[in-house]
Amino acid sequence: MKFPSFKRKPPSVRATNPHFAQRDAARGRRLSALMLLPLTFAAFVIGAVAGLDAPILLAIVAGALFAMLATFVVDANVFLQVMFVVTFLIQGSALYFGGIHAAVWVATGLGGLFIFRVLMDMVFLRRTRQVIKPGKAATGVIACAVLYFICYGASVLLNRPGLGQLISAVKSNLVMFGVLASFLWFYWAPERIDRLWKIAIGIVILQLPVTIYQHFFIASQRHNGFDSVVGTFGGTPLAGGLSSMLVLFTVAVIGYALARWNHGIMKRRTMLLICGVALAIIMLGEVKASFLWLPICTFVVLRKRILKNVVSVLVYGTLASILLGSIYYAYDQLYWNDPLAKMRTYQEQQRASNYFFDANNVDYKTGEVGRGASLAIWWRDPQATLPHRLMGYGPGASKSGGLVGGGGSVAKRHQPLAIDATAMAVLLWDEGIVGAVFYTGILLCGIWTGFRYLRRGEGSARQKAIVETCTAVLCIYATLLIYNRTQLDEPTAQLFLMFCLGCIVQMARFRVPDTNAPLPDAVVVEEDAPRRPARRPTRMATPVYVGHP
């Protein structure tokens, strides 16, 4: 007589149980019936749009529907890789070379779907037990982010902006926060984060032929060649575009290559090749801020090597001077030595020199507002009250027209001036001093968290290289607050910002050794969940010794 056993049955026995087989079949039928409804709806909509004989509209609608359906089956890591390729390559190319202005919504739509995917994973993980739980690090970033969202909502309730203005503001400000949320809540294996950085290196290498074409064939046709070399990051041939984001992204890749070489996980030849291509792109891009961004990134990544002794400080200082002098010479020969630029009047030259600091640098004919003038206009606002100073005029109040809505309330009041010249000006107008402080706190806390992680000496060489690069990028983004408004207005800048911030938070919260790390979607299955039967080993006549090639 056998006594009953209360031990858990092996997976193979549980999987062959008729009860579990029937339940699996029932779940499969329900899932098939559930997926049949959205597929039928998608087919109906695509067929209706196809009858309008509008190929571009058909491509947009079909792509949006299939992206929504793919959200249910595509892993979050693969989804983020697709967002990288679409945002940094396809979207800008469609706008620059195809003239498709609606392409700017593609990255935003993918960001919204990514949020939906993250929420799905969060709900699923509540019903199971996650293998790796986050720690209590990066609380400053989390607190500032939560307080910023509270301030954002309070500003909406206080000012009650119009629907078009609110949609435009949410599209511009909040969508890419889903990337940061995914790195806050779930564990990502270092291999997957490293793969995203390798995709970034490939994107920079692809920029070289594009920037060469834009410089020699597009910029020469314009009276003002500045900001005409934008790569695939977005813009138009006549009006220019995101040249600053092209250079920022390229500087970040230089920092990543130097960090990997510094930690001995990249060959010197590969590092020099990547840096050479990136420097060629910077010289073609004509962004004067590169004289500040490149030293910041290099110093953060190679700080221990540079500060090793006095000799190393002198050597690296000399190399930096030679490099910056070469970039200055390239800019002078390619852009600043233009005969048309020398024909400017004395007043125009003074205005260009004082563009950053002059508080009265305003052109009422073109609507252009200098960086210093954008803050001065906010400070001199005659209609500002204490609530408006603290909480702003509502999200999107300073935004001049777009695809959705005709502009914010404050922007209409100051027409034709573009008062949203800098990110700090946008924050002060829209969310007030409180919102500007919390948003700035997100960046500063991220930088502090990155340096604290590096000071503790935790993580592998690959993890340290990622954190060093991301910390340097956040320092650059801190300077962007008074340089332009891209990090609050463009999905390319927002995606890269949230990715770098998320990498730092991820490494600080999930302190997992970088050896055979489990995948981010690894979970412990519940007791009553069926499992797949294990594969039976193949019977062979001679024994097989595992571990030898």
Mean pLDDT by 10-residue block, N- to C-terminus, for the chain (549 residues)? 46 48 51 53 56 59 63 78 91 84 80 83 60 73 93 91 82 87 87 92 94 82 66 82 90 94 91 93 84 90 86 85 81 65 48 60 79 87 88 87 64 84 90 94 94 87 92 93 87 93 92 54 36 45 34
Structure tokens at 253: 């890749």
Please answer whether residues 235 and 74 qualify as being in contact, where contact means their C-beta atoms are separated by less than 8 angstroms: no
Determine, yes or no, domain membership for 407. no
Q: Is 214 helix (H, G, I), strand (E, B) or coil?
A: helix
β-strand partners of 524 = 129
Query: HEC profile for 141-191?
Result: HHHHHHHHHHHHHHHHHHHCCCHHHHHHHHHHHCCCHHHHHHHHHCCCCHH
149 and 41 belong to one structural domain = no
Position 160, amino acid: R
Please answer whether residues 375 and 425 qualify as being in contact, where contact means their C-beta atoms are separated by less than 8 angstroms: yes
For 348-394, what is each residue's pLDDT tens digit? Answer: 545 555 556 667 778 777 778 888 888 888 998 888 889 889 999 98
Please answer whether residues 173 and 106 qualify as being in contact, where contact means their C-beta atoms are separated by less than 8 angstroms: no
Structure tokens at 360: 């009265």
141 and 277 belong to one structural domain = yes
DSSP for residue 219: G
Determine, yes or no, domain membership for 404. no
131 and 50 belong to one structural domain = no
Please answer whether residues 432 and 159 qualify as being in contact, where contact means their C-beta atoms are separated by less than 8 angstroms: no
53 and 187 belong to one structural domain = no
| DSSP string for 268-305 | HHHHHHHHHHHHHHHHHH--TTHHHHHHHHHHHHSHHH
How many separate domains does the chain show? 2
Determine, yes or no, domain membership for 441. yes
Contacts with 7 (C-beta within 8 Å, 6 or more apart), sequence order: none
113 and 230 belong to one structural domain = yes
What's the pLDDT at 318?
87
Determine, yes or no, domain membership for 185. yes
Residue at which a domain ends, from 45, 70, 95:
70
39 and 168 belong to one structural domain = no
50 and 165 belong to one structural domain = no
Residue with tokens 């960046």, as numbered in its chain: 443
179 and 36 belong to one structural domain = no
What's the pLDDT at 493?
92
Q: CA 7, CA 172: separation in Å to the nearest integer? A: 55
208 and 161 belong to one structural domain = yes
What's the pLDDT at 3?
46
What's the pLDDT at 340?
52
Determine, yes or no, domain membership for 256. yes
Structure tokens at 106: 């593609």
User: Distance of alpha carbon 540 from its chain centroid, rounded?
Assistant: 52
Residue 286 region by backbone torsions, left for phi larger than 0, else alpha for psi between -120 and 50, else beta? left
96 and 227 belong to one structural domain = yes
Structure tokens at 518: 């489990």
31 and 130 belong to one structural domain = no
Handedness of CA 361, 239, 418, 442 (dihedral sign): negative
Cα dist from 181 to 145, 201, 319, whole Å:
10, 24, 40
38 and 117 belong to one structural domain = no
Determine, yes or no, domain membership for 449. yes
For 435-470, what is each residue's pLDDT tens digit? Answer: 999 999 999 999 999 999 998 887 888 999 999 999
Determine, yes or no, domain membership for 9. no
Q: CA 528, CA 525: separation in Å to the nearest integer? A: 8
What's the domain range around 33? 20-70
